[in-house]
Structure formats: structure tokens, C-alpha cells
Amino acid sequence: MGDWSNFLSAMTLALVRVSGMVAFAPFFSSTSLPIRAKAVFVAAVAFLLVPLVAALPHAQAAISCSAILGELAVGLVYGLSLALLNKMLLFAGQIVGLQFSFSLVNLMDPNSAIQTPLLGNLFQLMGTLVLITAGLDRILLASMIRSFRVVPLGAYAFAPPAALAIVRAASGIFLAALELAAPVLAATLLMEVAVALLGKLSPQLPVMSLTVPMKTLTGFVILTGSLALWPRFIEARFAALLDMAERLIAAPGTASGWGG
């Protein structure tokens, strides 16, 4: 009876940690995945991890308020750190949509339940596709499993510096989004300059009616060509965020830039 009670206690704590990650991490947090499927997945992962993580040194399977909050904090550190990747893609889409004159075209984002720009949704979908095809979702799960060795079950003490470090790391969203949108920004800016010079040389041309379609066409061509660089770019940012999450649970308050 004691072994069964310890097993359930350890499974509950593991369930809380994995649930915190699934609630916010890219791909796993998508509302396209049914809630029941997520619940079954989290329960299966926790059930399979219990024999391994409960036997690690310094693991504490006893359920308490501090243990539950600590496990939830570990999951949230992973989930919120990696959620910055989705925000970076959304912001890059907003920048490109502004250059395409699509800033007023909004759609309902199923993940956040708010209206977001059309290209913001497109960038998030393409980023999720890169995550799946590159197998980064499996790397995230492997890192979560390794976290039980760094921070044994029920032994994590939440520290406010970890939350502050995540907030500071959010500043990398802007730099990373600008890097991702840079080819389109440069191309559309050059197109605007070219159209302006053309208008000076030939004032009879309807420059105002040419600017938007030429910018949009040029931007789509450059965006299509730059997609070849997306996998390497997103994998590098994902790896940097994952390393940051691992450092935060090992030493709260340590975070470095990831957007450069």
C-alpha cells in the first residue's frame, strides 16, 4: 500500500511539471490539439516517467503545497520560455504585414483567442511546421525529462529571479523578429525608393497606384526565397530558448540574449 501511495504521489508531481510545459510550449499549447488528447498525453508521459524519476537521488515524492508549486514552476519556466518563439513569429508577421499593406487584415488566432494580423498567423503556422518537421518537439520532451535529474522531483524552490529573467529575455523578441523579417524589409524599402525615383523621372505615371502592388509582389518573392533559411533560424532560436530554460531551473535568475 505504501509503494502504491508513493507511486501516485510521484506521478502527481510529474504530472504537474509536464502539464505546465504543455500549457504554454509551442505546438503542445495549440488549440488544434484536443484537450482530451493533451490530458491523455500528459498522463501517459507522467506514468512512464515515475519509475525513473522517483528513483533519482534527492527525489521527494511527498505531496505538499511547496512541492506542487515547485513542479508547476519548472513546467512554466519551460513553457513560458519557449512561448517567446511564438511571439517572435507573430511580431515578425506583423512587421511584414505592415510592409505588404495587410495591417488591417486580421484573423481570429485560435491560440490566443484574439484578432491577429493575417501574416502573423501565417508565420506562426510555418514556424509550427518547422518545429514538427525538425523534430524539435521531441527535443523539448527530452529536455523536460533531463530536468528531473537537474531538479529532482519535489525539490525545486521557486525563485522570483527566474520570472524576472524570463521578462528580460522577452526583449529578444524584437531583435529576432527584425532578423527574420529583414530580407522582406530591405526589399520593400528598395522598391519604395525605386518607385519614388520613377515618379520623379516621370510625373505622369500613377505612382501611388503602383507602389502597393509592386511592394507586395516583391515582398512575396523575397519571402518565398527566404523560407529556405527558416529551419536553421528557428532551430537556433529554439535551442537558445531551451538552453535558457535549463539554466533557469538550475540557477534561477540567469538568462542571456537569444534574439541575436
Say which DSSP state 227 is in: G
User: What span, in angstroms and rounded, lies between the C-alpha atoms of 253 and 255?
Assistant: 6
Maximum pairwise Cα distance, the chain: 90
Does 129 map to a domain? yes
Residue 27 lies in a domain: yes
In angstroms, rounded to a whole number, what is the distance separating the alpha carbons of residues 20 and 81? 12
> In this structure, is residue 254 part of a structural domain?
no
Q: Is residue 158 part of a domain?
A: yes
Per-residue pLDDT of the chain (260 residues; tens, 9 = 90+): 457 788 888 888 889 889 988 888 888 887 778 888 888 999 998 888 888 888 878 778 788 888 888 888 888 888 888 889 988 998 998 888 888 877 666 666 655 566 667 788 888 888 888 888 888 888 888 888 888 888 888 777 766 777 788 888 888 899 999 999 999 999 988 988 888 888 787 777 777 777 788 888 888 899 989 888 899 999 999 999 988 888 888 876 556 666 66
Is 26 contained in some domain?
yes
- 226 is in which domain, residue-wise? 1-249
Distances in Å between the Cα of 183 and the Cα atoms of 95, 96, 121, 224 are 12, 10, 19, 10
Q: Is 37 part of a structural domain of the chain? A: yes
At position 21, the amino acid (one-letter code) is M
Tell me the DSSP string of 97-135: HHHTT-TT-EEEETTTTEEEEHHHHHHHHHHHHHHHHTT
Q: What is the mean pLDDT of the chain?
A: 83
Specify the pTM. 0.81
Question: Any idea which residue has 521557486 for its cell?
Answer: 158
Task: Report the number of distinct structural domains present in the chain.
Answer: 1
Residue 95 C-alpha cell reads as 512587421
255 in a domain, yes or no?
no
Please check whether residue 105 lies inside any domain of the structure: yes
